[in-house]
Amino acid sequence: MVLGGERGDGIHETQRMEHWDTFDPRSRYTYEAICTSEVMCNPQPGRGMAYMTVFQDRNRGWLKGEQSYRLRVPKDVPASLFWSSVCYDNRTRSLIDTDQQKATVGKKTEGHRVNEDGSVDVLFGPESPGSDWENNWIKTIPGRGWFTYVRLYGVEQPFFDKTWQLPLIEPVNFKNLTR
């Protein structure tokens, strides 16, 4: 546990624990996971990564675990290494934890379904969209909010000049899904 764990009970009030300070773990986390790389802080075409986060659907409603949604990722994602959509739990800020044990869909997802136009539908919802769509689906938890980070690694020029844009997440009825 980088920022807490068994001895992290005092972390809410101070950095001082009984026998140690949390300054070092917090610094290490910042170094390892936040703006330590030039290409993370200042991505350039062909180098670095881009993260986009979504907390609301296109109707400005908060993303809810009891609702079903679709994120239609347009074809030709400008990521030379890979792209993915990763689902997080609002309360824990950790990967969503369901019996599905899956929190991401993306370029490297085995067997994911690609639409006829080259786009990919990433589906979120509490119930399966059906066997044809299982590999594109991330299970959510009714009564719990969630959010997603869409990550592009090896981000390319169309992201920077906005000729490729990610649409907003939309509420859907899985029974009406088409390619």
**pLDDT of res. 176:** 82
Residue 159: pLDDT over 50: yes
23 vs 119, higher pLDDT: 119
Query: Could you tell me the pLDDT band of residue 36, with boundaries at 50, 70 and 90?
Result: low
Residue 9: pLDDT over 60: no
Q: Is residue 179 part of a domain?
A: no
Output the DSSP codes for 40-104.
Answer: HHS-BTTBSEEEEEE-B-TTSPBPBTTS-EEEEE-SS-SEEEEEEEEEEETTT-SB---TT---E
Same domain, 44 and 30: no
Span 109-143, pLDDT tens digits: 999 999 999 999 999 999 999 999 999 999 999 99
52: number of Cβ within 10 Å: 13
Domain count within the chain = 2
This model's pTM is above 0.85? no
Same domain, 21 and 42: no
Same domain, 16 and 99: no
Domain membership of residue 88 as a residue range: 38-173
Please tell me the distance from the alpha carbon of residue 169 to that of residue 72, in angstroms, as a whole number.
7
Same domain, 15 and 93: no
**pLDDT of res. 1:** 40
Same domain, 29 and 89: no
Same domain, 13 and 90: no
CB 163 within 8 A of CB 65: no
Same domain, 12 and 81: no
Lowest mean pLDDT among 24-33, 60-69, 78-87, 97-106: 24-33
**pLDDT of res. 8:** 47
**pLDDT of res. 43:** 75
Query: Could you tell me the pLDDT band of residue 16, with boundaries at 50, 70 and 90?
Result: low
